[in-house]
A and B are shown apart, each in its own frame.
Chain A
Amino acid sequence: MLPEPSPEEVSHPSTLPSRRFQKVCDILAKHEHRASRLIPILQAVQEEYRYLPEEVMTYLATSLHIPPAEVYGVATFYAHFALAPKGKYVLRLCDGTACHVKRSIPILEALRSKLRLSETKSTTDDMLFTVETVSCLGACGLAPVLLVNDQVHGQVTPEAACAIVDGIAAKETVQ
């Protein structure tokens, strides 16, 4: 097992040691270097790095014998792929129809103002939090829903959302 890349390495892909490409090679080998498996390959890479570093995408293109533009085209088409590093905690607020009619937007506004984020700036400077919206998490019965990494919080209010952020921040300071 290779050690997790440190936050500095994640935010500055140029410092990625070459041995990290070993992981990428493993992923490529697992998918038999098939260009048709590009999406699962990108998903595995993103799982590893938390985003898609440019170098890795170029490397993938060369290995799969496809133009880098094609890899970039796929990476930018799908909402799940991120070209910039995300925070340690990704807060994904559901803005599906059910959550929207149950007032998800005030929650988004509260989170953004608390973390000093905006529509264009979605990650905090300390790389701790990223705030995004998603179109539907399929947990409409619990609307409005907030997903913190993989944990679902249901029937959230602006106050409850801020309390979740406070809880995480407190835990992080202790650590």
Chain B
Amino acid sequence: MTLAHVITQESLAKEGLAYQSAANGAERRLIICAGTGCVAGGALEVYGEFVRTIEAAGIDVVTELRPEAPPLPGFVHVSRSGCQGFCQMGPLATVLPDGILYTRVKKGDVAEIVESTLKHGKPVERLLYVDKSAKRSCRGIAEIPFYQAQHRFVLKECGVIDPDSLPEYLAKDGYQAACRVYTRMSPQEVCTEIDKAGLRGRGGGGFPTGRKWELARVQPAAPKYVICNGDEGDPGAFMDRSVMEGNPHSVVEGLLIAARAIGASEAFVYVRAEYPLAVRRVRKAVEDAKRAGLLGPSLFGTHYALDITVMEGAGAFVCGEETALIASIEGKRGMPSPKPPFPAQSGLWGNPTVINNVETLASVPRILNMGAEKFRAMGSRTSPGTKTFALTGHVVNTGLIEVAFGATLRDIVYGVGGGVTTDDGAAMSELKAVQIGGPSGGCLTPAHLDLPLDFDSLRSIGAMVGSGGLVAMNRDTCMVSMARFFMQFTQNESCGKCVLCREGTKQMLALLDDIIEGKATLDTLDLLEMLARTVQKGSLCGLGKTAPNPVLSMTRLFREEYLAHVVEKRCPAGRCKALLRPHVIPVKCKGCGVCIKACSMNAIKGEKRQVHVIDETLCTRCGACAKACRLGAIQGV
């Protein structure tokens, strides 16, 4: 694509239209999801197979649609997309305009799809998603409950457009907002518009974005910097990854707008190193935008310039913290520094810096295109708009979802998620808790099922939106082990600067170990809670301040379970190995010896046709005996 002349809204729209009219010549479009999840399932092989098979069937295939050389109408357009969200059912293939969604597509299924759908317009029934609760197969997204219950705003184009295609982004009004901002709006107007929309930072804190920009805008110092925070470190969260993989140009456009709002000429995208695909896609988007003149000097015919550098993180959770991330870009250890001064006043190399989360930046162009009023109409009063969540854990449908703020936990877990399952997903189970906001967040229980979720309602009950990880847990989950899991994570990731965070998290972990190993007393529990509150108070950055949240929220909400561990030395979920008491139920045991053979530790003794006995000192609580016994005579493990 060449855009050598001055880029205007009209020229961008023209490019988009050219792409659209070329795309309209396609008889069908096939979209193969190429997000991390589907690629792991073999989506790229499926893609290659489709191209080969369609070609072999004598149909024209176009994989890269070039508006300047439109193919003859009647071709099939095969493209790859970013994450479509339904990772568990991947690899996914969508056929348009039929609106058919095929799930779990394997290389061997391709020939059948080409033959029946592409040639004869008939769906391949066995590859359609089956809604088990309604006992029917769903033809496409419109019929699948997982998608029906969502409100896709930031993710609207994710999973549809080809993330590597700038022309396709332009066809969806791409870079229109950026162009308008540079040519027709003053920086102050941009800040005011975003402030009016009420956009709050999607990275966890929920700070109003417009106000953050305004704070940096009024600083006299120069140069200024904009940073996109893609260091999504929360375990169990992958929203930013999906946006960067699925619609990287929206992030680039968001950065362009933010740079204009504060007067920056240099921007950074800091991406987690664990996301190689996201790094590649964002890098390509930046390069393509540069080549098209959308980045670089004299933007949109003005004297403003912007250069974007994509930087890979090196594996440190604390770098999600603004000041630590800045230190990391400067080439130092990623340790946070005290605020104030805020990065907006003194950030990267001591200059005013705005740091926004990926999802926040991706929302900005859409907000400017639709207007603040319309954006405000979505979501709740104090938290307008939508939020993407990574719904995982023990639910039927896991994946990337987006709902309007104010949706309830019930909508998410039972509507989108399709209900709670057992560990292996084979049967339904009861909901015990939902961990929201990762290792810095808190727990929600079935009592909170009807609470409308937004920044403020969650804060009021001691939880937080966080970056948006939602992990559903069934009744077989041990809440002490979960608290320990999060504690171990934060303890590992503590940068070591503040004593209370460094040593406090270690001691909290040791206290939780005591509870799990049956060495705790009631004093342990008191000490744990006291220490948790001290760590909250005595730490500098968000990591230390929020590290005790899971412990505090779980000890409060699941007090009885903690007491069972401490007082009765019993783990109600049967997960804490040291507390398990494997034993033989004498009346059920027939002395068949199957368990003796199953035990690799020789911990079971007994004569034939005599009741067997387990030696607890030798037993490793592996559970092999209980699995082997057909009479159910071994319990407690």
A pairs with B = yes
Interfacial chain B residues near A98, Cβ < 8 Å: 235-236, 390, 392-393, 398, 471
Q: Is A26 in contact with chain B by the CB < 8 A criterion?
A: no
- B328 CB contact (under 8 Å) in A39, A101, A136: A39
Interfacial chain B residues near A151, Cβ < 8 Å: 40
| Contacts A98-B236, A138-B241, A141-B398; A79 near B315 (Cβ below 8 A) | yes
Q: Is B263 in contact with chain A by the CB < 8 A criterion?
A: no
Q: B333 contacts A100, CB within 8 Å? A: no
| Contacts A43-B314, A74-B331, A77-B316; A138 near B392 (Cβ below 8 A) | no
Within 8 A of A (CB), among B272-312: 272-276, 311-312
Q: Kindly name the residue among B235, B276, B398 whose own CB sees the greatest number of chain A CB atoms within 10 A.
A: B235
Chain A interface size range: 35 or more
Q: Is B232 in contact with chain A by the CB < 8 A criterion?
A: yes
Q: A102 contacts B423, CB within 8 Å? A: yes
State in angstroms the CA–CA spacing of A36 and B330 once bound together: 5
Rounded to whole Å, the gap between the CB of B391 and the closest CB of chain A is: 9
| Contacts A79-B314, A135-B233; A141 near B400 (Cβ below 8 A) | yes
State in angstroms the CA–CA spacing of A70 and B335 once bound together: 13
Interfacial chain B residues near A34, Cβ < 8 Å: 331
Q: B37 contacts A39, CB within 8 Å? A: no
Q: Is B608 in contact with chain A by the CB < 8 A criterion?
A: no
> Interface code B313-325, partner A: CB below 8 Å = 1, 0 otherwise?
1111100000000
Interfacial chain A residues near B241, Cβ < 8 Å: 138
Q: Is B473 in contact with chain A by the CB < 8 A criterion?
A: yes
Q: A139 contacts B36, CB within 8 Å? A: yes
State in angstroms the CA–CA spacing of A110 and B238 once bound together: 27
| Contacts A74-B332, A97-B438, A141-B399; A152 near B314 (Cβ below 8 A) | no
Interfacial chain A residues near B273, Cβ < 8 Å: 43, 80
Q: A141 contacts B392, CB within 8 Å? A: yes
Q: A100 contacts B392, CB within 8 Å? A: no
State in angstroms the CA–CA spacing of A134 and B273 once bound together: 12
State in angstroms the CA–CA spacing of A34 and B311 once bound together: 15
Rounded to whole Å, the gap between the CB of B398 and the closest CB of chain A is: 5
Rounded to whole Å, the gap between the CB of A44 and the closest CB of chain B is: 10
| Contacts A74-B332, A80-B273, A141-B399; A136 near B236 (Cβ below 8 A) | yes
Q: Is A67 in contact with chain B by the CB < 8 A criterion?
A: no
Q: B334 contacts A78, CB within 8 Å? A: yes
Q: Is B388 in contact with chain A by the CB < 8 A criterion?
A: no
- A35 CB contact (under 8 Å) in B40, B331, B333, B393: B331
Q: B394 contacts A101, CB within 8 Å? A: yes
State in angstroms the CA–CA spacing of A138 and B311 once bound together: 18
Q: Is B41 in contact with chain A by the CB < 8 A criterion?
A: yes
How many residue pairs between the two chains, A and B, have CB atoms under 8 Å in the bound complex?
138
Q: Is A137 in contact with chain B by the CB < 8 A criterion?
A: yes
Within 8 A of A (CB), among B233-278: 233-238, 241, 272-276
Interfacial chain A residues near B86, Cβ < 8 Å: 141
Q: Is B495 in contact with chain A by the CB < 8 A criterion?
A: yes
Q: B315 contacts A78, CB within 8 Å? A: yes
Q: A138 contacts B238, CB within 8 Å? A: yes
Interfacial chain B residues near A97, Cβ < 8 Å: 235-236, 392-393, 435, 438-439, 469, 471, 485-486
- A101 CB contact (under 8 Å) in B238, B313, B473: B473
Q: A140 contacts B236, CB within 8 Å? A: yes
Q: A139 contacts B40, CB within 8 Å? A: yes
Q: Is A20 in contact with chain B by the CB < 8 A criterion?
A: no
State in angstroms the CA–CA spacing of A59 and B476 once bound together: 54
Q: Is B558 in contact with chain A by the CB < 8 A criterion?
A: no
Q: Is A103 in contact with chain B by the CB < 8 A criterion?
A: yes
Q: A143 contacts B392, CB within 8 Å? A: yes
State in angstroms the CA–CA spacing of A38 and B311 once bound together: 12
Q: Which residue of B lies closest to A46 (CB)?
A: B314
State in angstroms the CA–CA spacing of A152 and B578 once bound together: 34
Within 8 A of B (CB), among A43-83: 43, 70, 73-74, 77-81
| Contacts A138-B238, A140-B392, A154-B37; A80 near B435 (Cβ below 8 A) | no
Interfacial chain B residues near A121, Cβ < 8 Å: none
Interfacial chain B residues near A81, Cβ < 8 Å: 314-315
> Interface code A1-44, partner B: CB below 8 Å = 1, 0 otherwise?
00000000000000000000000000000000011111110110
Within 8 A of B (CB), among A107-135: 134-135
Q: A134 contacts B471, CB within 8 Å? A: no
Q: A73 contacts B469, CB within 8 Å? A: no
Q: A136 contacts B36, CB within 8 Å? A: no
State in angstroms the CA–CA spacing of A78 and B333 once bound together: 8
Interfacial chain B residues near A88, Cβ < 8 Å: none
Interfacial chain B residues near A103, Cβ < 8 Å: 423
Q: A154 contacts B236, CB within 8 Å? A: no
Q: Is A142 in contact with chain B by the CB < 8 A criterion?
A: yes
| Contacts A39-B331, A98-B398, A100-B485; A139 near B473 (Cβ below 8 A) | no
Interfacial chain A residues near B342, Cβ < 8 Å: none
Q: A152 contacts B36, CB within 8 Å? A: yes
Interfacial chain B residues near A79, Cβ < 8 Å: 314-316
Interfacial chain A residues near B473, Cβ < 8 Å: 101
Q: Is A85 in contact with chain B by the CB < 8 A criterion?
A: no
State in angstroms the CA–CA spacing of A97 and B578 once bound together: 22
State in angstroms the CA–CA spacing of A100 and B88 once bound together: 16
State in angstroms the CA–CA spacing of A102 and B317 once bound together: 22
Rounded to whole Å, the gap between the CB of A69 and the closest CB of chain B is: 11
Q: A142 contacts B87, CB within 8 Å? A: yes
Interfacial chain A residues near B272, Cβ < 8 Å: 138
Rounded to whole Å, the gap between the CB of A159 and the closest CB of chain B is: 13
Q: A138 contacts B314, CB within 8 Å? A: no
Q: Which residue of A lies closest to B240 (CB)?
A: A138
Q: A141 contacts B312, CB within 8 Å? A: no
Interfacial chain B residues near A95, Cβ < 8 Å: 235
Rounded to whole Å, the gap between the CB of B47 and the closest CB of chain A is: 16
State in angstroms the CA–CA spacing of A73 and B482 once bound together: 32
Interfacial chain A residues near B37, Cβ < 8 Å: 139, 141-142, 154
Interfacial chain B residues near A138, Cβ < 8 Å: 36, 232, 237-238, 241, 272, 274-275
Interfacial chain A residues near B234, Cβ < 8 Å: 136
Q: B235 contacts A96, CB within 8 Å? A: yes
State in angstroms the CA–CA spacing of A8 and B304 once bound together: 53
State in angstroms the CA–CA spacing of A34 and B331 once bound together: 9
Rounded to whole Å, the gap between the CB of B105 and the closest CB of chain A is: 15
State in angstroms the CA–CA spacing of A11 and B399 once bound together: 41
10 A-B pairs besides A100-B485, A138-B272 with CB distance below 8 A are A70-B332, A77-B495, A97-B435, A98-B236, A98-B398, A135-B317, A136-B235, A137-B274, A142-B37, A142-B88
What is A's interface to B at a CB cutoff of 8 Å? 34-40, 42-43, 70, 73-74, 77-81, 95-98, 100-103, 134-143, 145, 150-154
